Amino acid sequence: MVCGGANSQLASSDVAEVLLRAGVTWVPDFVANVGGLIQAVAELRGEIPASARERVLGVRATVLDILEDAGAAGSTTLHAAEVRVERRLAAARSHRSAV
């Protein structure tokens, strides 16, 4: 398994397919790093630390869901994560336009 905090770990998105074919599980960097973003946003909003901690602990479930989605679809974890991000962004856009 490759799950590192460095940004842009792969030379190109095609490498995700190479890793999949080699049987290497890769957690995309933007998924692995999201806990830091959650913490930073919570601090900027003045939230209590316990609130951010609860959301950070939820990242584990998100990673497991991404791994499961990729396995079920026979796709890369990169693709599964990008699909999840696109769905969340679309939902956020829809929510903003409704307000």
Please answer whether residues 17 and 76 qualify as being in contact, where contact means their C-beta atoms are separated by less than 8 angstroms. Answer: yes
Region of poorest pLDDT, from 3-7, 42-46, 89-93: 3-7
Chain mean pLDDT for the chain:
92
Of 98 and 68, more confident:
68
Q: What is the pLDDT of residues 32-46, one digit of tens each?
A: 999 999 999 999 999
Q: What is the pLDDT of residues 50-83, one digit of tens each?
A: 999 999 999 999 999 999 999 999 999 999 999 9
Average confidence (pLDDT) over 17-24: 95
Say what the pLDDT of residue 9 is: 85
Instruction: Provide the whole-model pTM.
Output: 0.84
φ/ψ of residue 9, rounded to 5: -65, -30
Token pair of 67 as six digits? 């791994």
Closest-CA residue to 52 (of 34, 33, 35, 39)? 39
The label of the residue with tokens 């960097």 reads: 29
